[in-house]
A and B are shown apart, each in its own frame.
Chain A
Amino acid sequence: MAIPQSTSSPVISVSDLHMSYGDHLVLNGVSFEARPGEVLALLGPNGAGKSTTIEILEGFRNRSHGKVSVLGVDPATADEAWRARLGIVQQSWRDHGRWGVRQLLEHLGAYYAPFSEPSRPRPMDVDELLATVGLSEHANQKAGSLSGGQRRRLDVAIGLIGRPEVLFLDEPTTGFDPQARRDFHDVVHGLADLDGTTILLTTHDLDEAEKLADRILILAGGRIVANGSAAQLSREVEGRTEVRWSQDGEHFVHAADDATRFVRELFQQHGDAIGDLEVRRSTLEDSYMTLVHRFETDPVGSAQRETLEVVR
């Protein structure tokens, strides 16, 4: 099933995706793409359709209508050779509690051996993988005896064992303590660099999305209401960046479209007279709240408004 692809063609392509359960419309025309090696975060309030979207892409759920392609194949009719190119990490896995960490990785890795390619040897080396996710010293422990954070790292390792071209992470850090969360972020950062793996993750955690993702999609009311990097989303929502400074004991505030240029001009004009400089771009949380609020207070208006497309 190896489909020849130029490196620039999208790895994930979704267009006009609809999904309804009975009368309840969950996805109402979702469209987006992911390019090779990109890390995408899918953000949105509960019930916005994040999990539904990811399950349709994983081939675990049939859509109502719309076009979906992952690695050039429709997940609804894809075969096991396609599945071998994916990695999946779900929200709550408690399986294989009696298996040793290394034993489980070696066993699950063997399923990928028939799908090995010269450019992508499968499965990954277990020792290397254990080191990547920081489980080397727990290799002989039983999966059931791992802490929550360790268990999740094992889940990520299992998701990676087949050296996937696409990795789906569904709320990967739910229930993590701050240390486990930071460790996990380091692992994900390493991945996209490592093998050019394309990653789609869902999360509630705005901070996490900002740290991990190249691009953020905000899903609200079954539509993508925003699509761009954290910085782009902030600019688009607030329009401006707030610059504060003092000059001769007086304090000033200015909302600038291009803060860098504004500050440069400020110094060119006034030089050393400027003090207390503060440039504050709105945080992703600000943008997120504004976008979701805008949608919730006026769903029709925001549906009619052109979806915020700040990339491309």
Chain B
Amino acid sequence: MSTTSGARLPSPVLQAARLGIRRGYIEMMHSLTNRADQIWIVVMNGVFVGVLVLQRNSDLADTGYSLAVATLPGLIGMNVVMGEWMGTAQMLAVEREDGTLLRAKSTPHGMLAYLVARVTLAVLNTALGLVIFLVAGLFLLPGLNDVPVSGWLMLLGVFLLGMLATMPWGAVVGASVKSAGAGFGLTFLPMIVLIAISGIFYPITGMPDWLHPVAQVFPVYWLGAGMREALLPDAAAAAELGGQFHTLTMFGVLGGYAVLGLLVAPRVLRAMARKESGSVVEGRKAKAMQGWG
């Protein structure tokens, strides 16, 4: 592609990437100023912080640490999965249905900007959750002040790898489902189940043994485990499976999900984008209307 344009015009691809970041930021601002979103953010995070308050005085599997100390990292890990996997899947499903995606396709380099915006928004949303939990933790859990720099670096590493491990799969689900409703059902329910069996709110050692390998197949468990390892003192490993942290396996599983996801997602997204057209969006709308009528 060669344009005979003047030198001062920005490169279209760079311009679109920049616009994608701006779009993600604008969408974040829309979310933060939207009443329904505000209520959702306050209630959801309020519930989780409430759990921390209630668990403050329970003991973590005889380690001498409060249960809340173990729940906080779990919440941070869970927040990554919710924001990146569930959030991305639902957003993609909704925006295929309402025509946002087709609009992006109709705009020069719009799809590139759209993808950049999805990543930007997911990162901003997840970072917001991280900040809320950490601030709550600093007030509620005195032990958090003692976390060494290496612990914070590991938190950042697990946070970034966790995003890479979950977001592409959210895109795959969002690109594959037939409707926004299916997008919600296919992510929200499995999410609840995975959170329940992955030792986020209660040590996994308290779960039936046969559930352990099931939980360990999915990144929810490993994100929680990675965050616990980053923030908790070594002695807290007693509450983990086998009485120790599994650092390599954790990075291995999350890394595996990330690599596979980044290989699969672009293909699925490209196939999905190719299929979008006016009549496809129109047909989906007609079907959705029938469903409500």
> Are A and B co-members of a single complex?
yes
Counting CB contacts under 8 A, is A306 at the interface? Answer: no
Counting CB contacts under 8 A, is B144 at the interface? Answer: no
Residue among B22, B99, B109 making CB contact with A90, cutoff 8 Å = B99
Counting CB contacts under 8 A, is B5 at the interface? Answer: yes
Distance in angstroms between the alpha carbons of A111 and B72 in the assembled complex: 42
Would you call A79 and B1 a contact (CB within 8 A)? yes
Counting CB contacts under 8 A, is B3 at the interface? Answer: yes
Q: Which residues of B contact A110 (CB under 8 A)?
A: 15, 19
Q: How many residues of B contact A (CB 8 A)?
A: 38
Would you call B109 and A80 a contact (CB within 8 A)? yes
Would you call A111 and B1 a contact (CB within 8 A)? no
Proximity string of chain A (186-230) to chain B, C-beta cutoff 8 Å, 1 when within and 0 when not: 000000000000000000000000000000000000000000000
Counting CB contacts under 8 A, is B279 at the interface? Answer: yes
Distance in angstroms between the alpha carbons of A214 and B276 in the assembled complex: 31
Chain B interface mostly helix, strand, loop or mixed? Answer: helix
Proximity string of chain B (85-126) to chain A, C-beta cutoff 8 Å, 1 when within and 0 when not: 000000000010011101101111110010000000000000
Proximity string of chain A (68-89) to chain B, C-beta cutoff 8 Å, 1 when within and 0 when not: 0000000000011101101010
Counting CB contacts under 8 A, is A61 at the interface? Answer: yes
Given A95-B95, A116-B5, A88–B106 Cβ distance below 8 Å? yes
Residue among A1, A86, A94 making CB contact with B99, cutoff 8 Å = A94
Interface-lining segment among B6-14, B214-222, B256-264 = B6-14
Would you call B19 and A107 a contact (CB within 8 A)? yes
Q: Which residues of A contact B34 (CB under 8 A)?
A: 98
Would you call B278 and A91 a contact (CB within 8 A)? yes
Distance in angstroms between the alpha carbons of A111 and B30 in the assembled complex: 21
Would you call B277 and A55 a contact (CB within 8 A)? yes
Q: Which residues of A contact B12 (CB under 8 A)?
A: 80-81, 84, 111, 114-115
Residue among B2, B11, B100, B279 making CB contact with A1, cutoff 8 Å = B2
Least CB separation from A93: chain B residue: B99
Would you call B108 and A80 a contact (CB within 8 A)? yes
Would you call B98 and A95 a contact (CB within 8 A)? yes
Q: Which residues of B contact A88 (CB under 8 A)?
A: 106
Distance in angstroms between the alpha carbons of A158 and B5 in the assembled complex: 23
Distance in angstroms between the alpha carbons of A162 and B109 in the assembled complex: 13
Would you call A55 and B15 a contact (CB within 8 A)? no
Q: Which residues of B contact A99 (CB under 8 A)?
A: 26, 30
Counting CB contacts under 8 A, is B23 at the interface? Answer: yes
Would you call B19 and A1 a contact (CB within 8 A)? no
Least CB separation from B103: chain A residue: A95
Q: Which residues of B contact A94 (CB under 8 A)?
A: 98-99, 285
Counting CB contacts under 8 A, is A51 at the interface? Answer: yes
Counting CB contacts under 8 A, is B281 at the interface? Answer: yes
Would you call B105 and A60 a contact (CB within 8 A)? yes
CB distance from A100 to the nearest CB of B (A): 9
Counting CB contacts under 8 A, is B67 at the interface? Answer: no
CB distance from B52 to the nearest CB of A (A): 32
Q: Which residues of B contact A1 (CB under 8 A)?
A: 1-3
Q: Which residues of B contact A61 (CB under 8 A)?
A: 277
Would you call A83 and B103 a contact (CB within 8 A)? no
Distance in angstroms between the alpha carbons of A93 and B107 in the assembled complex: 14
Counting CB contacts under 8 A, is A165 at the interface? Answer: no
Residue among B16, B95, B278 making CB contact with A111, cutoff 8 Å = B16
Would you call A115 and B285 a contact (CB within 8 A)? no
Distance in angstroms between the alpha carbons of A99 and B3 in the assembled complex: 31
Proximity string of chain A (101-112) to chain B, C-beta cutoff 8 Å, 1 when within and 0 when not: 001000110111
Residue among A55, A96, A111 making CB contact with B100, cutoff 8 Å = A96
Given A80-B109, A114-B9, A96–B103 Cβ distance below 8 Å? yes
Distance in angstroms between the alpha carbons of A28 and B10 in the assembled complex: 44
Least CB separation from A170: chain B residue: B278
8 further A-B contacts with Cβ under 8 Å, apart from A51-B279, A99-B30, are A54-B278, A84-B12, A90-B102, A92-B285, A93-B103, A96-B103, A114-B5, A170-B278
Task: Provide 15 A-B residue pairs closer than 8 Å at the C-beta atoms, listed in order of the A residue.
Answer: A54-B278, A81-B1, A81-B12, A83-B107, A84-B12, A90-B99, A95-B98, A96-B103, A97-B98, A99-B30, A107-B26, A112-B108, A115-B108, A116-B5, A158-B103
List 7 A-B pairs, minimum CB-CB distance, nearest first. Answer: A60-B277, A95-B100, A90-B278, A84-B108, A114-B12, A98-B30, A80-B108
